Structure 1
Amino acid sequence: MSTRILPAVGDADAARAITTLLSQLPDAEPAGPLGDSTSLLDTLARLAGESLDELPEVVLVHERIGPVPALELIREVALRFPAVGVVLVTADASPGLYSAAMDSGARGLVGLPLSYEELAQRVQAAAGWSVGVRRHLGAGADVLTGPSGTVVTVSGAKGGVGTTVTAVQLALAAKASGHTVALVDLDLQSGDVASYLDVQFRRSIVDLSTIQDISPRVLQDALFNHDTGLGLLLAPSEGERAEEVSDRVVRQIISALRHRFEIVVIDCGTHMNTANAAAIEMADRTLLVATPDVVTVRAAKRMVRLWDRLQIRKAEETITVVNRYTRNTEIQPPLIERITATKVARIVVPANFKELHAVVDAGRMQDLEAKSTVKQALWGLAGDLGLVKHTEGAQKQGRLKGDRGSFGGRRGRTT
């Protein structure tokens, strides 16, 4: 039986050396090296979505991989794809690093400069462990096919563009269709999800910041079970505690939420930090909310460029949601698409402020009327994003009907 090996190497010289040695290993099927952590996680997720059998037995992670640090990447792979054996390639073969790598979930460590004998031994051991795990689980191996939940992040190009309203309504739409849904407030300094849904809850995401391994019980204790059926993970009431939530914590939390909920919607706010950067990188779909005005479109372009420089999301992988749209505005969705180089959502959200005033002031966003054109558009957007199970069932509740019974109706679409 051949061993499939997927190397993730950020250094070009190291990539050539590793590729050369891997090609000499007996019964090995090495794939082409991936240059960053995002490519590795995306590739594994795609393969896992097809079948467990498509996942490689061994993943090699070079110490200079980025943007996610090597040990954090190993932890993420081990959490999301536990049937894959991960081997760290590093110049530091000290007992301290070896222990840290094992704690993160690595199955071995190979020192630099590379030795054929050592590489072959570590790869063989990791592959044997991977095969043993899959054989042991047998018919239950479908639990190892990676995350089952879909993660959607919602960010604002600037403050006040409707980021939280969008995130809340997408989550409500997904829940109404029958999905299990978590709504996470990652606007850590000024999150308003609790205010929009009339929630008073002492626990927050900060309570998970010191937990090394987030078990289902620990996660449940931090979640607020809202009467709409949403599981809420809220931002801290003290904004200064935002610094306690690191990118490592966010990655663990998202991985835990993926395995419990079918849909995870994350309100990332408008200010970038390491926490929401990690969420955007891990997301299956990334939304950027913008209004059709010059200042906001420029801000959207800056945000997209920032994500690209941070190597967390490419412009063409970002969906821009146009909020507060009017037909007579000079800046139309096609222009926004060209300026930002993103994909603009087919459904736009109309500028009907009066519909929102009462529910926002009351903190009862869940009570927004079904006939609201804003709600129709946002629930229609949820349908376009694949966040609803079946349109027909939701329409019977009168919650996704537009002017003609379609997602968003005529007033919620571009012309």
Structure 2
Amino acid sequence: MTTRILPAVGDPDAARSVTTLLSQLPDAEPAAPVGDSTQLIDTLARLAGEAIEELPEVVLVHERIGPVPALELIREVSLRFPAVGVVLITADASPGLFAASMDAGARGLATLPLSYEELANRVQAAALWSTGVRRHLGTGGDVFTGPGGTVVTVTGAKGGVGATVTAVQLALAAQASGYTAALVDLDLQTGDIAAYLDVQFRRSVVDLAAITDISPRVLSDAVFSHDTGLALLLAPGEGERGEEVSDRAARQIVSALRSRYEVVVIDCGSQMNGANAAAIEMADTAVLVTTPDVVAVRGAKRIVRMWDRLQIRKAEETVTLVNRFNRNTEIQPPLIQRITGTRMSGTAVPANFKELQGVVDSGRMHELDPRSTVKQALWALAGELGLVKPAQGAEPRGGGMLRGDRGSIGGRRRKGGTTSGGGRK
């Protein structure tokens, strides 16, 4: 049996060394190394989207892979692609790291400098495990094996531009179209999704922060099932507790949600921290909400530049939504596109706060009138981003703007193809 192997090695010299050894293994079919964690996840998602059988049996993760740390990357691969055997390559052979890698989901650990015999043994063991899992899945085992749900983050260029309204309506649109959808409040200090949807629930995202293995049961205990069908993971009632949610915890939480829901919408607020930065880096689509005024557009430019400096997301991978759009304003979407370097949403959302005031004041955002121009525009944006199921006979989900379609507005790692349009609220 041929064993397909995908190495994830960032250092060129280490990649050449690993590739040379892999080429000597019997019945091995090594793929070209991927250079970072994002490329690894994107590659596996693309293969899984074609067919589970297309996934490699073994993935090798080098300890110096980035930007996501190796153990966190192993955990994400194990959660999203459980039929893949992961082997960690590391110079640290301590019992502590061995235990941590096993807890993360690795099937083996190969120590540096690599030896042929050890690498062959670890690859063979991981491949046998992978084959056994796939045989089990072939008999109808109820195990998640898809590329994972689509994750969309919504960030405000500054406070008060309407990021929360956008996030709520995108999630409602996805749920109403027939997708299983989760709405997450990662505006950890000042999040108010609970107030927008008239929810009183004691559990929050903080309850998951200290858990290293988020099982479906643990996740279901932390989320609130809203009357609309949305699963809500709320911000803590005490804002200071938001500091308990680290970037590592956020990665685990997003991965767990992605493995259970088809669409995950995350409200990241307007203040950056490690948790929402991790979510934005992991997202398939990052929406940046601004209003057509100088202060907000400057804020959007600062955020985009900061994301680029921190290697969270490139400007061309960000979709900017202009809120309170008015054709008579001096600042128009093409100007914002030039200033920020981002892609502009093709959807114009008009400035019509009167439509929103009643449902905002009553905490019934989910009851916004379907005739509302704001709601119609935001649900059109959900369609533009691929978050709603197409009508019967239309293009299937995989052909839209969802994860894996890298040339679309919902994809990543592809320049060009921008559109212009308006904003929202």
| 1:270-289 to 2 correspondences below 5 Å | 270-289=270-289
Query: How many angstroms apart in 1 are the aligned matches of 2:146 and 2:280?
Result: 18
**Contact 1:177 1:391 (C-alpha < 8 Å) held by counterparts:** no
1:73 aligns with 2:99: no
TM-score (norm 2): 0.88
The number of equivalent residue pairs is: 397
Following superposition of structure 1 onto structure 2, how do residues 31-50 of structure 1 map, counting pairs within 5 Å?
Answer: 31-50=31-50
Give the whole-Å Cα distance in 1 for the aligned partners of 2:239 and 2:43.
36
State how far apart, in whole Å, the 1-side matches of 2:422 and 2:158 are.
Answer: 22
Give the Cα separation in 2 of the matches to 1:286 and 1:375. Answer: 20
Q: What's 2:103 paired with?
A: 103
Residue identity opposite 1:342 in structure 2 = T
What is the alpha-carbon distance in structure 2 between the residues aligned to residue 6 and residue 300 of structure 1? 38
Cα distance, 1:244 vs structure 2: 1.1
User: Which residue in the other structure is 1:398 paired with?
Assistant: none
Q: Which whole-Å deviations, capped at 9, do the CAs of 1:199-238 have from their partners, x for residues lacking one?
A: 1111111111222322222222211122222111100011
Q: Secondary structure at the match of 1:287?
A: strand
Q: Deviations over 1:332-380 (max 9, x none)?
A: 2122222222211100211112222222122221222222211111011
Q: Which runs of 5+ in 2 are unaligned?
A: 394-419
Percent identical among aligned pairs is 77
Which residue of the partner structure matches residue 242 of structure 1? 242
Amino acid at match of 1:34: V
How far did 1:104 drift?
Answer: 1.1
Contact 2:151–2:285 (Cα < 8 Å) also in 1:
yes
**Counterpart of 2:416?**
none
Q: Deviations over 1:158-216 (max 9, x none)?
A: 21111000001111112222222211101011101011111111111111122232222
Q: Which moved more, 1:134-143 or 1:267-276?
A: 134-143
Secondary structure at 1:259's aligned position in 2? helix
> In 2 relative to 1, CA 391–164 (structure 1 residues): closer, same or farther, beyond 3 Å?
farther
Give runs of aligned pairs for residues 307-386 of structure 1, distance below 5 A: 307-386=307-386
Give the structure 2 partner of residue 16 of structure 1: 16
CA distance in 2, matches of 1:413, 1:338: 13
Structure 1 segment 386-405 matched on structure 2, within 5 A: 386-390=386-390
In structure 1, what is the Cα distance between the partners aligned to 2:258 and 2:286? Answer: 16
State the distance in 1 between where 2:213 and 2:93 align.
Answer: 25
Aligned equivalents of 1:84 and 1:413: distance in 2?
42
Q: Pairwise mapping of residues 81-230 of structure 1 onto structure 2 (< 5 A)?
A: 81-140=81-140, 143-230=143-230
- Give the direction of change, closer, same or farther, for the CA distance of 1:121–1:160 in structure 2 (3 Å limit): same
Distance 1:27 1:305, change over 3 A: farther
Q: Deviations over 1:122-152 (max 9, x none)?
A: 1122112111211232243794533442221
Structure 1: give runs of 5+ residues left out of the alignment: 394-411
C-alpha contact (below 8 Å) 2:23/2:30 kept by paired residues: yes
CA distance in 2, matches of 1:96, 1:203: 32
